[in-house]
Chains A and B, each alone.
Chain A
């Protein structure tokens, strides 16, 4: 089991640029979660999917953020246009059989917007 795979591990870009973060969940997991972690706000749930369908996106900060899951093995989180305050570590996690189950996190993407 390769675990949850995120790419890139690090991203540095200038404000205004489009940023795309990628996630491959554990095979067979039907729930996928996107989180943002900052010192100020801690770990925040942004959005989660069940069977590739977005279930709750109430944590998405604003319209500049969008997430998709075109198939069971791939998801993207996109920020367009990016701003310095978007700098954070973004984690993807997956689980099976619901939100009341252990989540397996990826190694995260450290995003820096200059």
Chain B
């Protein structure tokens, strides 16, 4: 089956700096890669996703890049704000299964 590794597990950045979270996957059949944000005590919410037919997708301060050859994809948050503090999960979907990374706890220091 698929194996999704996510790094780092924790990340602290100063407000205004950028944050990058990286995920690697093993199954070349994976073709959909969503990112979810989960604030403390809340439900996961989709923030951005990318499909294997594109290499990059951007939505305001958030972007995701995909390298199919190397089997990794990354979440980029620019101009971080305190409200970006949360746990971020990546996922990879090969076929009909759904595999989540272990999460990155991001803290944005005001």
Contact = CB atoms under 8 A, between A and B. Distances in A.
For chain A, the bracket of interface size reads: 10 to 19
B49 interface: yes
A100 interface: yes
A43 interface: yes
Interface residues of B, number: 20
B93 A91 contact: no
A23 B74 CA distance: 32
A26 to B, nearest CB: 13
B25 interface: no
Contacts of B98: 33, 45, 48, 99
B59 to A, nearest CB: 13
A103 B97 contact: no
A43 B97 contact: no
Interface string B21-65: 000000000011010000000111110010100000000000000
Interface in A37-94: 42-45, 48, 55-56, 58, 91
Contact of A100 (B32, B45, B100): B32
A108 interface: yes
Given A33-B98, A42-B100, A45-B98, A100 B44 contact: no
Contacts of B103: 42-43
B96 interface: yes
A42 B43 CA distance: 13
Contacts of A91: 43-44
Interface of A: 33, 42-45, 48, 55-56, 58, 91, 99-100, 102-108
